[in-house]
Amino acid sequence: MEIFKYMEQYDYEQLVFCQDKQSGLKAIIAIHDTTLGPALGGTRMWTYASEEEAIEDALRLARGMTYKNAAAGLNLGGGKTVIIGDPRKDKSEELFRAFGRYIQGLNGRYITAEDVGTTVEDMDLIHEETNYVTGISPAFGSSGNPSPVTAYGVYRGMKAAAKEAFGSDSLEGKVVAVQGVGNVAYSLCKHLHEEGAQLIVSDINKDAVRRAVEDFHAKAVDPNDIYGVECDIYAPCALGATINDVTIPQFKAKVIAGSANNQLRDTKHGDMIHEMGIVYAPDYVINAGGVINVADELYGYNSERALKKVEGIYNNIARVIEIAKRDNIPTYKAADRLAEERIERMRNSRSQFLQNGHHILSRKS
């Protein structure tokens, strides 16, 4: 991989390699764009097959956070970390504290939080070394686990997409096929069940499936069968790239709305589902609830204020659909336009000043 060439292509600002022999830490912090503010994005811990795969994941996810934060109206740029390791075996206090010191060394250019493979407890350890971490325990006056809030945002965004597809935002009686019933999707299923939706679920983890079947009367299907089930809405809530050449011909759903990051394998797949008339709620717009929630900590966390902002994901998805219809483009392009235009507006309006003079954390009461 030609790292500088890749960084130049998507205009990345910085890539930081962190190595600590004592704790075994091997981490990569990618900072994509800080036009809107410090880069906020989670830390993923994963067993990558190669260092190149880890670098690519960090870069790709960091850029996604730039778009997510911009489209959500946050004054934050985009970044992400990957820690190379098995979250079931390789975690330790030393490792997360060493990582915390690296974050501190960036002096606020990057702020972290949870992502796949990391938890509130891990954030608390990082917090021992730096204040540039969010999603820490409510005991510190913070917001804790972002997953239920992400789920609430996905639920709100799904309703907005349903309004476009079915003429009503009620999900009562709608059949929703949920792929992956982990942290976010379990809470999403709860909202859907309470509204009277019928659930079809799949997960490679049998216990997760059993819990959804028992708690929400969901019907379980084999992981490979979820794409082709008869349903109104497909909710991808596991890993990315599940909208691809193989799955698209199987889709029966009229709406795609789920929490997974990077749902389209390639942009051409966004074009394909658009041509099929499927209403696609762009991933980084609908799944912004978690980051909106943790970002509120930077102002002194207030859950009521944060939830109100997360509720706004309904309007954000409606706005993206409106732009898509107005400009006759797929929704994924409309979302990119929304994010890029905001970043450009801010870049231009700031260019007259050397810097805006204060860090976002200074507003914390």
Ligand X SMILES: CC(C)C[C@H](N)C(=O)O
Ligand Y SMILES: NC(=O)c1ccc[n+]([C@@H]2O[C@H](COP(=O)([O-])OP(=O)(O)OC[C@H]3O[C@@H](n4cnc5c(N)ncnc54)[C@H](O)[C@@H]3O)[C@@H](O)[C@H]2O)c1
C-beta of 57: minimal distance to ligand X in Å?
12
Q: Is 184 among the residues that bind ligand Y (CB under 6 A)?
A: yes
* Token duo for residue 67: 């778009």
What is the spatial distance between Cα 37 and Cα 26, in angstroms, rounded to a whole number? 26
What is the spatial distance between Cα 10 and Cα 67, in angstroms, rounded to a whole number? 12
Q: Is 297 among the residues that bind ligand X (CB under 6 A)?
A: no
11-49 burial, b at 16+ Cβ within 10 Å, e below that, comes to ebbbbbebebeebebbbbbbbbbbbbbbbbbbbbbbebe
Q: How far is CA 356 from CA 38, 69, 167, 241, in A?
A: 12, 19, 45, 38
Q: Is 42 among the residues that bind ligand X (CB under 6 A)?
A: yes
Question: Which one of 111-119, 182-190, 222-230, 270-278 is the stretch in contact with ligand X (CB under 6 A)?
Answer: 111-119
What is the spatial distance between Cα 165 and Cα 255, in angstroms, rounded to a whole number? 7
DSSP-derived 3-state class of residue 249: helix
Q: Is 204 among the residues that bind ligand Y (CB under 6 A)?
A: yes
Nearer to ligand X, 149 or 278 (CB): 149
Of residues 245-304, which lie at the interface with ligand Y (CB under 6 A)? 259-261, 287, 290
CB-CB contact of 216 with 191 (8 Å): no
Of residues 267-296, which lie at the interface with ligand X (CB under 6 A)? 287, 290-291, 294
Residues in contact with ligand Y, shown as a per-residue x/- string from 150 to 169 under the rule CB under 6 A: x-------------------
Is 209 annotated to bind a ligand? Reply is no
- Provide the residue type at 38 as one letter: P
Among 31, 208, 321, 360, binds ligand Y (CB under 6 A): 208
What is the spatial distance between Cα 181 and Cα 212, in angstroms, rounded to a whole number? 7
Residues in contact with ligand X, shown as a per-residue x/- string from 59 to 78 under the rule CB under 6 A: ---------x----------
For residue 11, which of 45, 48, 50, 62 has the smallest C-alpha distance? 62
Among 142, 183, 247, 316, binds ligand Y (CB under 6 A): 183
Site residues, ligand X (CB under 6 A)? 40-42, 68, 113-115, 135, 146, 261, 287, 290-291, 294
The binding site for ligand Y (CB under 6 A) comprises: 116, 146-147, 150, 179-185, 202-205, 208, 223, 237-239, 259-261, 287, 290
